[in-house]
Structure 1
Amino acid sequence: MCAAKHSALSWTLALGLLAACTRESGGQSTVHAPEVPEAAARPRLVVLLVIDQMRADYLSRYADLYTGGLARLRQQGALFEEAHVQHALTFTAPGHASASTATHPSRHGVIENEWYDRDARKKAYAADDKDARIVTSGPRAGSPDGRSPEQLMRPAIGDWLKEQVPKARVFSVAFKDRASVMMGGQHPDRAYWFDAAAAGYVSSSWYGESLPAWVVDFNSETRVFRRFAEGWQRLRDAATYARSGADKVEFEADGVHTELPHGFDDGTPQARDSFLKELQWTPFGDELTLAFAQRMLKEEQLGADADPDILLVSCSSADYVGHRYGPMSHEAQDYYMRLDGYLDVFLRELDAQVGAGNYVLALTADHGAIPIPELLAQSGQQKDARRVTMADYKAQVTRQVGAATQALNLPPEILLDIGETGVWLDVAAAEAKGVRPDLLRAAVGKELAKLDFVAEVLTADVLSGAAPDTGASEFLERYRRSFFPARSPDVLMRFKEWTLAATFPKGTSHGSPYRYDTHVPVLFFGAQVVAKTLAEPVGTVDVAPTLAEFLGITPPAQVDGRSLASLVTTR
C-alpha cells in the first residue's frame, strides 16, 4: 500500500487504525466510532446519485459515446464491476432505501413499492402518509396524497450526519416521490419531487409548511416546457444507434409509437397538460431534476462551509424510459448519451460551487431490468423468455389459492390480496375455523408451485426460520433480506429466470433476484478517490457506510453494509 500523500487520505487511513475493528455480533455488524477528522480534511459535500434502473452494462455498452459526465466518472472514479442489489425484490422504493440506510428491506421495512396493509385492509404505498399534505408553489393543486418517510423504519445517511454534525444540511430530489423520500431519510431538511398536477417540484408538510422562494421561482420559469415544441429528437445521427438494433419494435411502448423522434405538441389545447404527464417518460425529466439540484446546490449553499452537507439526487426518468422501450432500445441509448451531457454540466457546477477537491460523489442504482422477453425469445438469445400479463397472473394465482382454500374447507375470502411477488392471506380467519396459519401457507404454496412460470415458493414460515428450509434454493438468503414480517406476503413466488410478470403488455420491468435485475454500478468519485476498476463483489448497501467514512461519522450499530473507503482511496 502506498503511503498517504494528502490530508483527506491520511484521515481515511487513520480511521481504520484508530477505530476498533468491526465485529460480528449475532450476525449484526457493530461499528465503533471513528475519530472525526479535522474539518479541513473531510469533504464539504457528499453527493449520492442514483440512476433509477441503471444496469451495470450501460457504463461499458456506450463507453465510446460518452464524452461528458459519465466519461469523467468512469475515467476518474473507482468502479466496482461486481456490484449488486443484494435483496430479492428489486423495486424502486426498497432499492433507494437500502442505498441510503445501508440496510436490507428486512430491517428498513420498505419491501416493495407497495404492499397490503393487514390492519387497514388495503394497499399501502411506500411513501404514504395520510397526515401529511403536498406543498406546492403555484395555483395548480398538487396530487392529493400526502408523502413522508413514515414507512421507513431505519435512519439514512443524512440522519446519521445530522445527529453527529448538527449544523449539517441534507436535501434530496427526484422525479419520483418515493425515490426522494427514501433517499432523504427520516429527518432531511427537505425532500422534493416532481408533481405533474402542480407543474413543478413539490414537497410535503412533513418537511415544511411552504416552499422556499427559490423553489417557487424555479417552478415559475418556463423551463419545464423547454422541450415541448421540439419533441424528443435523436441526439446524434441515426447511424450511431445501429448497435441498438431496429428502432421500430412492436413490443415497445404501445406497439405504435416506438420510433424516434417522439413529438409532444399536437396543436390541441390539452397538449401542454399532456406533456407534463409525458415528461417522466423522456430524458427531459432528469434534465429538469438535475437543473433543480444545481439550483438547490447554489441557493442552499451546500458545501459552502466546514460543516459537511449531503445532496441526494435520483434520476427517475431512466426507469420510465427503460420500462417503456426496454434496455436495448434506441431510446435507452439516447437517454444515456443525453445523461452523459447532463452530468457534465452537473459536475462542472459542483466544481464551481464546492471545489473539485471538496466533494465526494457516489453513483449507483436501485435495480436493473430484464430485456424485453419477446425480443429475447425472437432473437434466440433466451428461447424460454416469456411475459405473463398481470391479468393472467392474477387469474392463475386466484385459481390456485382457491383450490388450496377449498381443500381446507375455507372460503375464497381468505385470499386478501395478490401482489407482484406473492399473496396475503387472512390467517386469523383461517385459524378461527381451525386451520393453523403455517398449514394454510404451506397448502397455498403447494398449489402456487404448480404454476408453470413459478420456479420456487417461499412461505413466511420458511423465511422467518419458523419452518425448515429443506429444498430451498440459493436465493433463500436474498428473499430473507426482503422479508419484513409485518408487511411481507404470506407466500412469495420466485418466477423462473427470463420470465416477466408485468402490468403492461409491452415494454419491460424488474423485481427479480436475477443478475439482470441486481447487477448495477457502484462508483465513487471525487476527493482522494483513486481511478481504478475493482473486481471485489460489493452491494448497494455498502455505499452509505463508505460515504460515512469519508465524512468521519459513524453508522448505526446494526447495518448490513460495510465501508469501501480503504479500497477506493489506495492505489
Structure 2
Amino acid sequence: MRAHWILAALTALLPTAASAAPPPRPKLVVMISVDQFSADLFAEYRGTYTSGLKRLMQGGVFPAGYQSHAATETCPGHSTLLTGSRPARTGIIANDWLDLGVTRGKDSSHGVYCAEDETKTPAPGQPYVVSPAHLRVPTLGDRLKAVSPQSRVVSVAGKDRAAVMMGGHTTDQIWFWDPSSKPGFVTLVDRTGPAPAAVAAANARVAATVARPPAVPLPPICRGRDVAVPIGAGKSVGRLVAMKPNDARGFRASPLFDAAVADLAIALADEMKLGRGPATDVLIVGLSASDYVGHTYGTEGAEMCAQQVGLDATIGRLLAALDRIGIPYEVALSADHGGFDLPERLTVQGTADAARVSSADPVGTVGKAIGRTLGLSGPVLLGTGPFGDVYVARDVPADRKAQVVALAKARLLAEPQVAAVFTAEELLTVPSPTAAVPMDEWPLAQRFRASFDAARSGDLVVALKPHVVPIADPTKGYVATHGSPWNYDRRVPILFWYPGMTGFEHPLPVETVDILPTLAATIGLDVPAAEIDGRCLDLDAGAGSTCGR
C-alpha cells in the first residue's frame, strides 16, 4: 500500500500531456511541399521511411489531407498551401488558362501561365516573365512581413510556380530551377543586387552533377518493382535506368533534383542566418522530383520507389541542418496534388477501366461540329487540353453564345470518356463549400466550385471519368499525370512537427487550406477568419490547444 502511495505521489509530480508547458514560439517556420505526393503514395511507403519523413511522422500526422478543389494541378495546389484559401479565392484556377483579351505569339495564343506577368516582355530565350501577379491573396510570408517587417521569407523550389505560389509577393529571396537555359537556379527578373554566395555554389554543384551524374543504385526495397512495362513504340518504363551525362531533363526526374533544392535551401538558411534575427522567419522548400518521376515513369515502378528513398534522405538532411542552427523551429509538409499511375501497368494489376483519353482534342472536335451545325466559322471552342476549362471563342456572336454553350455541354457529355460538364452559370449558383459537409463527400459541382473564378475560368468545365489518363500518347515523354477531381488526385498527407512535439494521428479529413491558420496560430499571427477558407488544426496532443495561443 505504501509503495502505491509513493508511486502515485511521484507520478503527480511528472508533467502530463495536458499540463506540459507549450513549446516556445518558433523562430523559423519551414514549409516543405512534395510535388505529386499523394496520400496513397504516403500510405504505401510510410513503413519504409527511416530518416526525415520518419521523424516528421512522430509529430501531428493527418493522412487524409485534401486539396479539396477539382483543378488538382501544381499551381492551384501550391496556391492553397500557405494562403489558407482555395483556388476560387486565390484566383489560381489552373496551371494555365485562356484570356481571350490577350493575343500572343505567331499562333495568336490566348494562353496565360499562372506564375507569369503577361504584360511584360520576357528576355530572349525565356517563355515568360515569372511573377506572383496573378495570386490574389497574401501568403503566410506576406502576412508576417506586413506586421513584422524584420521577418525574412526565403522560397526555394524545383518549379517557379511552386516558389512563387508559396512565397507570395514579398519574398526576400526566391530561387527556382530554370529549365529553359543551362542547368541552375534563377530568381525573379525584377530582383536587383548581388545574389547570395549560396546560389553560385549551388549552381556550380548542379552543373557538375548534370555533366557527370553519380550512379544512383536501386535500393533493396525497390527490387521487386524493377519490372518493365511496355508503353508502345518499343519503349517501356518501370526499370531504373542510369541517368545520362548532360541530361537536365533526366536530372529533374531523379532524387538528385530534390537534393539540389534542399542543398540550396540549407545554404541560404545558413548564409542569411534564418531564425537568428529579431523576428520569426519563413523558409519554403518545394521538392519537385516526385512529380517529374510520376509524369515520366508513373507512380508504381522502381523509379518512384528510388525517389521515395531519396526524398526521405533529403528531408532528413534538411532537418539535421535545422537542428544544427539550435533555434526553435517547426515544420509543415504537404503536397500540391496526388497522382495516378500509367494505365498500362494498372490494367495488368487489375484496374479494368484504366485507359488513356481516346482523343487528344475532344474540345476542338466538338467545337468544329458545332460550328458546322450553326454555320459559324473559326474555332468555336477553345481549351488547354482534353479536360478542364473550355471557352467560347470571342468571334461567336453574343446572341449565339448561350446556344453554343448548351450544344457544347450536350455533345461533350455524349463523349464516352466524359463524366460531367458544368457551365459557368451552373457553378455560380453552387454555394461555396463549408465545413458542414466533409470535403471527401463533396459532390463534383462543389469540387469545381472550389476552383472556379468567374473572371478566369471557362464557359464550361469538363471532367473525365475516373481512371482516364488525359495523355493520348505515352511515348512522347509523359506517361501519367494528375488534374482530375477524383480523390486519388485530391488526397495528400499533411504533417506538422517541431522538436519535442508529442505525436498523434488524426484520421478525419482536413484541407491543405488549414495549414496557414495552423502555423499562424503557433507564431501568434492574427489571420481574420473571413479572409481565408481554412481553420486552425490543434497540434497539442493533450487537453491544451495550439490554436489561439
Provide the TM-score with structure 2 as the length reference: 0.86
Describe the superposition over 1:103-131 as per-residue Cα deviations: whole angstroms up to 9, x where unpaired. 11111111111111111041011111246
Q: CA RMSD in A?
A: 2.6
Counterpart CA distance in 1 for 2:146 and 2:534 is 19
Change (3 A) 1:498 1:220: closer
1:145 corresponds to: 128
1:5 paired to 2:13: no
Choose from 514, 520, 525 the match for 1:548: 520
Counterpart CA distance in 2 for 1:289 and 1:411 is 49
Counterpart CA distance in 2 for 1:563 and 1:340 is 27
Describe the superposition over 1:65-119 as per-residue Cα deviations: whole angstroms up to 9, x where unpaired. 3221111111x21101211110001000000001121111111111111111111
2:324 corresponds to: 352
1:125 corresponds to: 113
Change (3 A) 1:568 1:295: farther
- The residue type paired with residue 282 of structure 1 is S
Counterpart CA distance in 2 for 1:45 and 1:126 is 28
1:388 paired to 2:357: yes
1:113 corresponds to: 95
Change (3 A) 1:120 1:503: farther
Note the C-alpha offset of 1:354.
Answer: 4.1
Aligned residue for 2:20, secondary structure, equals: coil
Instruction: After TM superposition, list the pairs within 5 Å mapping 1:250-329 onto structure 2.
Output: 250-251=230-231, 255-256=235-236, 258-265=238-245, 272=246, 275-329=247-301
Instruction: After TM superposition, list the pairs within 5 Å mapping 1:354-503 onto structure 2.
Output: 354-355=326-327, 358-380=328-350, 382-388=351-357, 392-394=359-361, 396-426=362-392, 429-432=395-398, 434-435=399-400, 437-465=401-429, 474-502=443-471
- The residue type paired with residue 205 of structure 1 is V
Asked whether the 8 Å contact 1:170–1:189 carries over to 2, the reply is yes
Deviating above 4 A after TM superposition, structure 1's stretches of 4 or more consecutive aligned residues are 130-135, 566-571
Asked whether the 8 Å contact 1:130–1:146 carries over to 2, the reply is yes
- The residue type paired with residue 525 of structure 2 is I
Describe the superposition over 1:476-502 as per-residue Cα deviations: whole angstroms up to 9, x where unpaired. 101001111111111111111111112
- The residue type paired with residue 91 of structure 1 is E
Describe the superposition over 1:413-460 as per-residue Cα deviations: whole angstroms up to 9, x where unpaired. 32233435245434654344x32x333212211111010000111111
Counterpart CA distance in 2 for 1:335 and 1:130 is 35
- The residue type paired with residue 264 of structure 1 is K
1:13 corresponds to: none
Q: Which stretch shows the higher mean deviation, 219-228 or 346-355?
A: 219-228
Choose from 494, 505, 511 the match for 2:483: 511
1:221 paired to 2:204: yes
- The residue type paired with residue 321 of structure 2 is E
Asked whether the 8 Å contact 1:80–1:534 carries over to 2, the reply is yes
- The residue type paired with residue 94 of structure 1 is P
Provide the TM-score with structure 1 as the length reference: 0.83
- The residue type paired with residue 241 of structure 1 is C
Counterpart CA distance in 2 for 1:169 and 1:232 is 37
2:438 corresponds to: none
State the aligned residue count.
508
Asked whether the 8 Å contact 1:132–1:147 carries over to 2, the reply is no
Structure 2 unmatched runs, 5+: 1-15, 104-109, 432-441, 545-549
Change (3 A) 1:511 1:528: same
- The residue type paired with residue 443 of structure 2 is E
Instruction: After TM superposition, list the pairs within 5 Å mapping 1:238-257 onto structure 2.
Output: 240-244=221-225, 246-251=226-231, 255-256=235-236
1:24 corresponds to: none
1:96 corresponds to: 78
- The residue type paired with residue 150 of structure 1 is A
Asked whether the 8 Å contact 2:198–2:271 carries over to 1, the reply is no
Counterpart CA distance in 1 for 2:176 and 2:542 is 33
Asked whether the 8 Å contact 2:356–2:468 carries over to 1, the reply is yes
Change (3 A) 1:499 1:409: same
Counterpart CA distance in 2 for 1:329 and 1:252 is 17
Percent identity between the aligned chains?
32
1:565 paired to 2:538: yes
Counterpart CA distance in 2 for 1:466 and 1:515 is 20
Counterpart CA distance in 2 for 1:46 and 1:241 is 33
Structure 1 unmatched runs, 5+: 9-40, 136-140, 266-271, 468-472
Asked whether the 8 Å contact 2:355–2:468 carries over to 1, the reply is yes
Describe the superposition over 1:47-81 as per-residue Cα deviations: whole angstroms up to 9, x where unpaired. 1100000012333322343221111111x211012
1:205 corresponds to: 189
Change (3 A) 1:149 1:254: farther
Change (3 A) 1:161 1:442: same
Aligned residue for 1:82, secondary structure, equals: strand
Change (3 A) 1:277 1:404: same
Choose from 56, 61, 72 the match for 2:44: 61
- The residue type paired with residue 414 of structure 1 is V
Counterpart CA distance in 2 for 1:525 and 1:536 is 18
